[in-house]
Amino acid sequence: MAPSPTGEYHIGHIRTLLYNYAFAKKNNGQFIIRIEDTDQKRLVAGAQQRILDVIKDYGLSWDEGPDIGGPYTPYVQTQRLDIYKKYIQELLENNRAYYCFCSSERLIEVRETQKALKKVPKYDRHCLNLTKEEVEEKLKQGTPYVIRMKVPDNEVIVFNDVIRGEVKINTNEIDDQVLIKSDGIPTYHFAVVIDDRLMNITHVIRGDEWISSAPKQVLLYRYFNWELPFFAHLPVFLDPSGKGKMSKRHGSVSARSFLDDGYLPEALLNFLMLLGWNPGDNREFFTLDEFIVEFSLDHLHKKQPIFDRKKLDYFNGYYIRKKSNEELFVLFKKYLPQADSKTITALIPILKERIVKLIDLTEQTKFLFEDVQYEPGLLLQKNITNDLAKAMLNQAKSLLAQIDTFDFSVLQEKIMDMIKTNNWNTGQFFMVFRVAICGVIFTPPVVDCLPILGKESTLRKLDIALAKL
């Protein structure tokens, strides 16, 4: 996997990484992390370390990489510039690449003219036929330049994609790709081919946004007389609506944000396993080790998968419920730092079966630590009148004030007897009572939480509610 440290790691990158990881492990290969930092203008400070950290936090590790080294070190592209010089020189000598001295202003003008004529915008090869002497003179004068790949005219490039089958693209649609930029740093398209070859990469599994670039890379393999790796271009995720690429319209899409929201790494990986692959049957739940055993390129999908957050919630809830109370204690403490050990221990059996992501704990238990602000109208749901709500809360307050031990079974029995005696609708009563105690409509079982809240706080919240009516 070759991250570019130009921002936060996308959840789609983790899916691609997971497939690469599983394929390498299943075939007794090496899983490598290589940092592709050739786009210096877009580099984000600290992004490289954050990417490495989030991959580890998803439970994945690598056999070779920038932090641990390996037989093909260095694993950061800007530390490999001397290597690329050798190969670009070979292309220049074999007339497979050429110097381009065009200014950025001229290139913009050419492209705008082409667009106006409804032509495919690409370099017009102004510098392709410069003589050797002209090139040497410009180099001697220090004229800024890039080095471009010489693309053959009107030739069909054919390669096989493991997912899509045979792919054909005419070279007339391909620009004379820049291989070395004016700062001497290679572009992605050049560096990735050199590195993949030198690192003995046999299979390239990546997102299908790179499929249009593949012919350029195929040409480079041909120019160097190297054997092509196997390509597999994965379809990108669709939004939950099924329309368009997954975007921030439905929440953050960074890999870190899902962990921050309290999705478990094992649930996320299990969910991602099935976004583009299936085992050939109806099984849904896989550990990482089980996935490695089952994974096959033959079962990768052509169709774009929908990133269904409800399905992710389903997986996460399943994995939360599988955890022991001791494991959940650590997780609950992370999201409820204000809660003491006794409170967390009491909350786990109440909430373990109900939450789908750990960040839900913050909102669902907010009433235990503060008086939640709410509008008076919230107490008057389900056709409840002001007088009825007052009567319910006054009697509840009177009843609870007389109970010394706030034990769940005692509280439940006494409250249910009160409801029955007054011939109240149970749903109506608990709607009023829940809002009075919690400040919201949807909460954990409110009576279960009273022993945690305590008698004094419970009575105070009832007084606040009565003052609103």
What whole-number distance in Å separates Cα of residue 37 and Cα of residue 28? 28
User: What residues are paired with 207 via a beta bridge?
Assistant: 234
Measured CA distances, 28 to 63, 65, 86, 415 (Å) = 11, 17, 32, 63
Name the nearest CA neighbour of 84 among 219, 189, 222.
189
Angle at 407 between CA 386 and CA 325, to 5 degrees: 110
Rounded-to-integer distance, Cα 396 and Cα 128, Å: 88
Q: Is 248 noted as a catalytic residue in this protein?
A: yes
Neighbours of 264 (CB within 10 A): 22
Nearest to 208 by CA among 237, 187, 179, 249: 237
Strand intervals (E) in 68-220: 97-100, 146-149, 156-161, 165-170, 178-180, 203-207
Contact between 301 and 276 (Cβ < 8 Å): yes
From residue 259, give the alpha-carbon distance in Å to each of 54, 256, 341.
Answer: 9, 5, 23
Which candidate, 228, 224, 184, places its Cα nearest to that of 203?
Answer: 228
**Of 41, 243, 248, 310, which is the active-site residue?**
248
* 195: its two tokens: 């590195």
Q: Which residue has the tokens 């109970």?
A: 403
Tokens of 358: 């750990």
What CA–CA distance (Å, rounded) separates 311 from 110?
49
For the annotated catalytic residues, the residue numbers are 248
